[in-house]
A and B are shown apart, each in its own frame.
Chain A
Amino acid sequence: MSNLKWRLVTIGVLVLLSVYALFPRDVKTRQRRPDGTFFDTVTRRVPLRKGLDLSGGMHLALEVDESKGVVANKSEAIDRALKVVRTRIEGMGVSETVIQKAGNDRIIIDIPGVDDRERAIRMVQDQAFLAFQITDKTNAFEKVLPRLDAIAKTRGLGAATAGARTAPAPNASLNGLLTAGGDSSRSASGITRDSAKKDMAKAKADSATLPGASGGVISKMILAGQFPGEFLFERNNKDILKDFLDVPDVQAAMPPGKVVRFGSDSVVIQNKSYGYLYLVDERPIITGESLTDAKPNSTPEGTVVEFTLSNEGGRKFQRETAKHVKDYMAIVLDNVVMGRPPVINSAIGTRGQITMGQGRELQAAQGLSLVLKAGALPVPLKVAEVRNIGPSLGQDSINKAWIAGTIALALVVIIMLGYYRFSGMLAVAGLALYVLYTLATLASFDAVLTLPGLAGFVLSIGIAVDANVLIFERIREELDRGKTVRTAIDEGFRHAMSAIIDSNVSTILTAAVLYQYGTGPVKGFAVTLIAGIVASMVTSIFVVKTFYLLWLNRSRGAQTLSI
């Protein structure tokens, strides 16, 4: 009797715990309006997390990009990159994201509800290495042009491009060019645009063709800009130029301590689009590491990102800029010069701004400030895997799994009731508790429900009654041997135990292997399988037995058992 009471209390406590675990609670979620801003909503819902294949969203796997050089300690680099990526993603304001390291060299990101694939990829992939570099003023590029021409000739570059290109008539077009270009020149605090304009006049004089041009393909492609170190090229040629500059021979021919960077801006002259090219000092005067804050702003000059440097960074910046008064300073983000380099008028302190390239709207500035604040990625990352599931598909999957689950449950109930009658009813009651316990276990372990997981759950409903069937068949055998109802029930449970435990433990072992080696949806499947097996053992061995004991207590001396 006391044994029975103890059993009932245990079941009651389990039920209460399960109900508590599954009780709908307030969850704060952030959602995105169509215009790209976020708002918080508080919803009451059952605390079961849906996997991406059910909720819709994006899964990304990133790995170290070694195309530009081997990374020595990948695992450690990924650890550092993980922090940066996490800060960036969290800055996007999406709720319930999962960001973790997988294996030694991969980062896995799950973002529910995000469907703008390209934006999200940009967010995590932009390296965001910010550097301030002084443009060259020694005409170093002009000096190496003849050698570049010679290399181009040996590579047969001339034939491919000469026909495509027609140079703008030198004087007339360049006047127009400079006016157009001048407008897009921007300034950081401590820098005035006027000085840039003043320099224009000087630049005009020698900008027709570059001094020392030998008339080769490359010299024809590249025109002088408004100040030393700035050059222009026809945008059609960008790919050719880019490939050419990557050639090892060309790299070797470059002036020492200087690097070539493309600009983000472009100008249109005579219906032709021109891009900018800069030769800058290889050593940056300061990098993004010293940056403490960044925020987007709209100014009459266009969209900008205003940044603040740390005190230490500010002092260094001031010292360096003091040395470079009257020089031009390129703001280089991931090897691209943002806007056009402003001239340094006087030493600059802790604050400055970066001008977004033309045609970039506020959203891009928001993204950039977020990325800058989170810091640069220690290693370049590349996308190894993307899964993007639309929200409608996820809902559709849930509905279908729901239908399949209901029908499976109904079939199992019919079979059990039809075959075992009263005992079948006890089994069905146990099955109801089984469903409750399994869901509660999943909720309290914060497991993720995936579509294969749901399928596994539906399947487990069918498998869950196996233990009941084993016990019931055993009881029948014992009854056949002429044992009394009470003894038969006792013996039935006792004898069926070893089979139930052995078979379930071996299934759990298999599921554990799946969990260890599976990813995403399959992991979800393994978790539901394990939770299901444990719950089914508890219900079939413990709960159903308690029901029997209860029944035996009520109808003392029962001669027959409906089984």
Chain B
Amino acid sequence: MLRILHGTKYDFIRPWRIAVAITAVFIVAGLGFLAVHGINKSIEFTGGTLMQLEFQQPPNPADLRATVDGAGYPGSEIQPFGSPREFTVRAAGHDAGSSVEKTAREIEIALHKRFGATEPTVVRTEIVGARVGDELSRNALIAIVISLFVTLLYLAFRFEWRFGVAAVLATAHDLLSTLAFLAIMRLEVSLTVVAALLTVIGYSLNDTIIIFDRVRENLKKARPEPLYDVLNRSINETLPRSVLTHVTVAAATLSLLIFAGEVIRPFSWIMLFGIVTGTFSSVYIAGPTLLWIERKWPRARGNERAPSRAPAPVAPVKPAASRPPVAARTR
């Protein structure tokens, strides 16, 4: 039988400081980027008009810009979309009084005047009023918070609160690092991207749960062993599964990224990054956090389930703040 990474005994948790430092730098850099440039929100959130144009012959971009400017919408974003024959035009929100579809109509008329009666073809138009956008932003935020909360509840119910808090912290880390990735890649945040973000949450949790499930199982075993070693052993034991699953999911995601076209590309990028960060956080965020919680609120040894307390309030995510698990190791 073909085996990879079988019977490994790596000390995964040991370099946790370096790992946390790297991710902290990445997140800080990304959030700094975010602070400077702001989130590149799609028109679903900002409101406005988006038109996707398809030309028979690649047009001169300067010409296209001049036409849109001439239609009365200077400052519109004009970008090639996948090929030199396709462009998206994104015009800012309109003043409240006029009907929302006016912008699209005026740009379309100007384009046909300049490029001909059938050129370009408007293959997609999206017009969003400002109020809808605000509401969507709020809903997206609510969705993310609620899904984190629901998962915490489920984990607290299925495992115990220590695991729940550690898993949710790892997930919050994934959310932050994916946001940082978004900012650095200048990806446009659309509803689909929010969906991808939530999928990353689910996927990363998946990974954390698989490891925690093994920890739970190993803790039940009679022989007493420090949590540090249990954690390491559990990660090593689940390593072949992790590698294989990540490879298959990455294969599917890459195929989406390469072949599924421009519309779905931001989604694919986020998923691809999510696989990486999800795997990383399951080991280097969830693990040390669990050790730290264990040190602060030790479980009653021998007693398999600690008397379950009310879930501790989730501390703001500061991975660097988790204490060195060294103490646990030497115990």
Contacts and interface: CB of A to CB of B under 8 A. Distances in A.
Decide if the interface of chain A is mainly helix, strand, loop or mixed: helix
Given A400-B259, A519-B191, A389 B202 contact: no
Interface stretch (B177-185, B209-217, B284-292, B313-321): B209-217
A502 B151 contact: no
Interface string B111-125: 000000000011111
Contacts of A476: 1, 3, 240
Interface in A493-526: 495, 498-499, 502-507, 509-511, 513-514, 516-522, 525-526
B263 interface: yes
B124 A390 contact: yes
Nearest to A103: B135
Interface string B173-217: 000000000000000000110110011011101100110011001
Interface stretch (B30-38, B63-71, B222-230, B250-258): B250-258
Interface in B95-138: 96-97, 99-101, 104-105, 121-129, 131-132, 136
A385 B237 CA distance: 52
B155 interface: yes
B60 interface: no
A98 B52 CA distance: 24
Interface residues of B, number: 77
A469 B4 CA distance: 13
Nearest to A65: B99
Given A400-B261, A513-B150, A459 B245 contact: no
B191 A529 contact: no
Contact of B126 (A386, A510, A517): A386
Interface stretch (A271-279, A282-290, A415-423): A415-423
A512 to B, nearest CB: 8
Interface stretch (A166-174, A223-231, A405-413): A405-413
A401 B203 CA distance: 21
A389 B101 CA distance: 15
B203 A404 contact: no
A517 B255 contact: no
Interface residues of A, number: 77
Interface stretch (B72-80, B140-148, B293-301): B140-148
A510 B249 contact: no
Interface of B: 1-4, 52, 54, 96-97, 99-101, 104-105, 121-129, 131-132, 136, 139-140, 142-143, 146-147, 150-151, 154-155, 158-159, 191-192, 194-195, 198-199, 201-203, 205-206, 209-210, 213-214, 217, 237-238, 240-241, 244-245, 247-253, 255-256, 258-261, 263-264, 267-268, 271
27 contacts: A383-B100, A384-B100, A384-B131, A384-B132, A387-B126, A388-B122, A397-B261, A401-B260, A401-B261, A403-B259, A412-B248, A418-B2, A452-B267, A455-B264, A456-B195, A458-B252, A459-B271, A462-B248, A463-B206, A469-B241, A473-B244, A499-B213, A502-B213, A509-B151, A517-B142, A517-B146, A519-B191
